[in-house]
Chains A and B, each alone.
Chain A
Amino acid sequence: MNVFLAQLLNGLDKGGAYALIALGLTLVFGTLGVVNFAHGALFMLGCFCAVTFRYLITLETVTIDPEKLSPWGSPVEVRTPLVQNWFGDFGAVLVDYSVPISILLAIPAMLIIGIAMERGLIKHFYKRSHAEQILVTFGLAIVLQEIVRSFFGANPVPQPIPSDLRGAADIGVWFGMAAHTLTYPWWRLIYLLFSAVVIGGVFAFLQFTTFGMVVRAGMADRETVGLMGIDIDRRFTIVFGLAAVVAGVAGVMYTPLLAPNYHLGMDFLVLSFVVVVVGGMGSLPGAVAAGFLLGILQSFASMTEVKSLIPGIDQVIIYLVAVVILLVRPRGLMGRRGIMEN
């Protein structure tokens, strides 16, 4: 039972990341009609916002200690973090909490990147075929990842969990089980909560604000909204920026779970597209539901008991689900009739 619960938590956690990326992808497809293969790269750029922030906050003064020599005979460099020099203990806390704090950098950075991407490149492809959109956004994704690689190298850059949030929570005790029966890392619980809050925030924004209402109207009938004198293009540009922010902050908070590397976007891209296809192209609730569903299925498929029944199922389960969905219900679980059915 406790293994089952732990795998359920794993699935929800993983599903949270899938849902956040797929949500942005669906927003862009639903509003602009663009199949954005660079969306995974936005997740990766979010990760590197955290890396950049930590790099900046841990900038050091370097002095030479002539007394000590390195193994190759040159004087040893003594490094002292600037922030700790300036702010003492508070500086140490800033360094320790660099990942969550870097969200403050990621939000404006990703908004600017998203808007620049849409205005600078993607808007020129609105009237082109989906194949051309895929090609250009895929090319953009490669360019972005190579830029990141040239700055940060190819190796993963681990980001630490704040020291207060390390280790695992004894969840079993909360539910009356014996100690150590069901433990789960604190940061993964935080990520799950964070995913729920961001997803809830996006839905609330679209549901309860005037801006959101216009966007939803534009998603339903862009032409009519335009005829009513509303500059829907400008709003959709902002939606693209919002999608970039959602992907970016998802990436920031994921960095302690998975050391970011330049290729991370590509790793998540395919999964996210499967999530969108299963959920239904253009359906926001579908993207979220499919994200969590596939995350949970992937976790359960990795259980030894399941793998002993169907060897290798853990590696193909989500694609298998996608194939079945495409055959049985081409528009996806919650997709609108007629969208991407042919």
Chain B
Amino acid sequence: MTNFRTNRRGLLKGAGAGIVALSTPHIFTKGAWAQNFCNDPTSGKIVFGFNVPQTGSYAEEGLEQLKAYELAVKHINGEGDGGLLNTLKPAALKGNGVLGRKVEYVTGDTQTNTDAARDGARRMIERDKAIMVTGSVTSGEAIAQQSLCQEMGVIYMSGLTHSNDTTGKDKRRYGFRHFFNAYQSGVAIAPFLAKEYGTDRRAYHLTADYTWGWTQEESIKNATEALGWETVATVRTPLGLGDYSQYLTPVLNSGADVLILNHYGHDMVNSLPQAVQFGLRERQANGKNFEIVVPMFSELMAVGAGEAVKGIIGTSNWQWSLDDEGTKAFTKSYGEAYGQPPSQSAHTGYVQAILYADAVERAGTFYPPEVIKALEGFEFDGMGNGRTVYRDTDHQCFKEVLVVRGNENPSSRFDVLNVIGRTPREDVTYDASIFGGELGPYEPNKC
């Protein structure tokens, strides 16, 4: 026979154990993470933070992205025609907000500046209680914001960012990129360059001197050298330079027969027309027509470069003139709302907002680790890029990449790029380890 003796210490131990035991099941109940993560909206408003350049060099692309985010919120909340909610497969969103509640949003201006982007994201998280931050037009903005969001435990869905670093050495558990990257551009464009210009070429690179330019140069250089092309020179140009004449002159007598402009935004808008003015496209070198390649294109840049863009080959994440159901639905929604077709900047922003909301719906909670897990490995279709997967090891979206050419005979002012090829997803998929980086922990920090 056993004698049970109770004393004060034993009673306290027992009571403590009982409380833990009784509360244990609730830890596994959805929604039970209240107060454990940053800006838990369980008892407050659901706020998305749209942080894009509204001023500065890339303001136009930022404002396009912002318009798309606003459209996405309308569609998530059940307003308008529903846009891509009608075509996303599989879709958990029902057009009644997220988890049955309406989404609100705040906007910020990154000023096309890394510091301002980080400050804006911090304000959205700390003051406006944003549960998710999204938006960027440069890789600098995206990397700065996703690092901050990792520290604060808030998910960041990047906008337009093309550097390999975003989902490479600077990848974060809390950061996700739908846009393609420089490596994928290089792989996608190479077969078309071989087909159009042959495998015996000598290339001269002019490269914007910052993170995106470096990774773009490395990627396209590797891809073209694999074709058999020789790299004559790689020359770095200061970011934001207006007059490229002093960098274009040496190209003329370098022995190169292809100029590869690893420039984006205003850099490309200036360098491409100036290269054409220098007569490069009328020039013969090594017994061949001299060619110019711009590995990464955007419609807004193409419009900015004017006539010079005609016939130039590059790559693009998406194009409004594609004929799949998702593209048609988004172009219709956006066109009706704003009177013009959407850019790839608008498209990627819109898709990111929808994908986050859908992941929350599927996870059944805003708790970031669960939302992250819902996004990781998520395979979907109907967003205008064919079958797409959010790879779990680096949070990079894998989908087909478009190869485009400046339209020689545009039928309207919007008709600046023609899609000349689509490189399948399998061809642009790579081993995540080649770019290094660590995603970091799932567990969120408190704000």
Contacts and interface: CB of A to CB of B under 8 A. Distances in A.
A155 B300 contact: yes
What's the dominant secondary structure at chain B's contact region? helix
Contacts of B331: 71-72
B246 A155 contact: no
Nearest to A161: B277
Contacts of A168: 277-279, 282
A73 B332 contact: yes
A154 B307 contact: no
A198 B178 CA distance: 52
A314 B238 contact: yes
Contacts of A70: 335
A261 B320 CA distance: 26
Contacts of A59: none
A302 B209 CA distance: 14
A257 B241 CA distance: 12
Interface residues of A, number: 48
Interface string B141-167: 000000000000000000000000000
B92 interface: no
A258 B277 contact: no
Nearest to B112: A154
A153 interface: yes
Interface in B217-267: 233, 235, 238, 240, 242-243, 245-247, 249-250, 252-253, 266
Contact of B250 (A3, A72, A180, A267): A3
Nearest to A167: B279
A259 B270 contact: yes
B282 A167 contact: yes
A2 interface: yes
Given A156-B266, A158-B304, A183-B278, A72 B246 contact: no
Given A10-B246, A10-B249, A154-B59, A304 B269 contact: no
B317 to A, nearest CB: 18
B60 A154 contact: yes
Nearest to A78: B412
Given A72-B341, A161-B277, A258-B270, A13 B245 contact: yes
Contact of B277 (A11, A156, A185, A263): A185
B57 interface: yes
B249 A6 contact: yes
A31 interface: no
A298 B246 contact: yes
B277 A299 contact: no
Interface in A307-337: 314-315
A183 B304 CA distance: 26
23 contacts: A3-B253, A7-B249, A10-B245, A13-B245, A14-B245, A71-B321, A71-B332, A71-B335, A72-B331, A72-B334, A74-B335, A154-B59, A155-B304, A156-B269, A158-B269, A158-B304, A160-B307, A168-B277, A180-B283, A183-B252, A183-B278, A259-B269, A303-B250
Given A72-B331, A167-B277, 18 more contacts: A2-B253, A70-B335, A72-B335, A72-B336, A72-B341, A154-B58, A154-B59, A155-B300, A157-B304, A158-B273, A167-B282, A168-B278, A183-B252, A183-B279, A258-B242, A259-B273, A303-B246, A304-B235
Interface of A: 2-3, 6-7, 10-11, 13-14, 70-74, 76, 149, 153-158, 160-161, 166-168, 180-181, 183-185, 187-188, 256-259, 261, 263-264, 267, 298-299, 302-304, 314-315
